[in-house]
Chains A and B, each alone.
Chain A
Amino acid sequence: MNTMNPIIILVASIFTHNIALTYILGMCPFIVISRNLKTASGMGVSIIFVVTLTAIINWPIYWKILVPLDAEIISYLVFIIVIAATVQLLEMIIERFFPPLQSAFGIFLPLITVNCIVLAVCLFMVLRKYTFIQTLFYSFGTSAGWALAIIIMAAIKEKLVLISDIPKGLQGPGITMIIAGLLAFAFMGFAGIITLQ
């Protein structure tokens, strides 16, 4: 088991090892949904919730059921089914008990099932042999880092549309990539603080 301090893992996963900008994961919504700040923050909050929830469900399933049974080989299958089921359940609960939330977050939930970072957090947690507490901090930090990245991106793009004259071919995903590259440079400034793993 990993012996790192959970607080260090939290900081590292938000800043020095930001999942969007250093591992290049979760890019599809990063490009499509980052057009305005409000939807970007909605997506960010939904991601934080789902990622943390699925990671703490998947941790006991992997270490307490799959490992004793020697069935690590099907872990991908189990993880993805748990993720899909959790998202479906969450959708139903929100629909039934919290209708006001439905209009704010409901549209993002089906998209989250196929978001790479939900699965990525589960895979990294297994790979780095995190304990339960570390997993809790890691999954929260990673998703918060992703939310931070998409909110920064959306804020930049909102202003960009108003003031800049982008070449035709570069509009849309092209310019998003260039901005993401610059953001990744900025986040590399944190790199010396902590090394993960």
Chain B
Amino acid sequence: MSDKKNIIDEIKNSKAFKVFASGIWLDNPIFCMVLGICSSLAITNKVANAIAMGLGVTFCTVFSSLLISLFRNTIPGRVRMLAYMTIIATFVICVDRFLKAFFPLISETMGPYVGLIITNCILMGRAEAYAINNSPFYSALDALGCGIGYTFMLLLMSIVREIMGFGTILDFRIMPDSWVNWTVLTIAPGAFFLLGVYLWIFRTISKKTDT
């Protein structure tokens, strides 16, 4: 029993775990830094889209961080933005092709938003803030943590929006037939209000305030 506890403590105190976990909760990209909402808020009205977007962003963040970290000593400082962009765009093209081939329906509803993963601030933010100064292993872990935190938040948004707005979850009807859909949640203003409310809740719990 105590052995098990020791191991858990050891894992908890290791650098790898701290790097990984900070992205999920303490430094959650959306709630804390309010980054990367540009390209995904609009498509969180369906859970399926949110999952696709979350996984796509996670994939791109992990691999671009890994690659940037591997090349961190050879990328010249002046053109590093261009280098990040090229690496990120390559992985986004992979995601776009994958969705088009295997999930054409999701790809159609997300439209240009898949391409816009390139300009998602999270990818650039992780590259600039972490990957360029750290070893590949920790960079990938950090990116994975951020990606999971991001996916989790998109899920939170999309679950509320789909249940209240369409009465379904993953297109499976769960609300009774007498349920009147809250159409406002399926369109842009609903996304803004919901995110505002989530930010309020999260910042009140974590006692984090903006200056």
Contact = CB atoms under 8 A, between A and B. Distances in A.
B116 A172 contact: no
B169 interface: no
A26 B38 contact: yes
A21 to B, nearest CB: 6
A114 B121 contact: yes
B2 to A, nearest CB: 40
Contacts of B119: 80, 114-116, 118-120
Contacts of A176: 196
B104 interface: no
Contacts, number: 133
Contacts of B210: 171-173
A127 interface: yes
A190 interface: no
Contacts of B35: 28
Interface string B68-110: 0000000000000110011001101100110000000000000
Given A25-B38, A27-B41, A119-B115, A181 B85 contact: no
A85 B82 CA distance: 8
Interface string A15-43: 00000011111111001000000000000
Interface string B182-196: 000001111111011
Interface residues of B, number: 45
B159 interface: no
Given A25-B116, A173-B34, A77 B203 contact: no
A169 B209 contact: yes
Contacts of A49: none
B82 A174 contact: no
B199 A174 contact: yes
A120 B82 contact: no
A80 B193 contact: no
Contacts of A115: 119
A139 interface: no
Interface string B19-43: 0000000000000001111110110
Contacts of B199: 169-170, 173-174, 177
A contact patch SS? helix
A24 B200 contact: no
Interface residues of A, number: 47
A73 interface: yes
Most buried by A among B187, B189, B193: B189
B118 A119 contact: yes
Contact of A172 (B85, B111, B209): B209
B96 A76 contact: yes
Contacts of A74: 93
Interface in A155-189: 167-178, 180-182, 184-185, 188
Contacts of B41: 24, 27
Given A24-B191, A177-B196, A184-B188, A81 B34 contact: no
Contact of B193 (A28, A77, A85, A177): A177
A7 to B, nearest CB: 24
Contacts of B120: 116
A99 interface: no
Interface of A: 21-28, 31, 73-74, 76-77, 80-81, 84-85, 88, 110, 113-116, 118-120, 123-124, 127, 167-178, 180-182, 184-185, 188
11 contacts: A28-B35, A76-B93, A80-B119, A116-B116, A123-B115, A124-B112, A127-B111, A169-B209, A170-B196, A178-B193, A181-B191
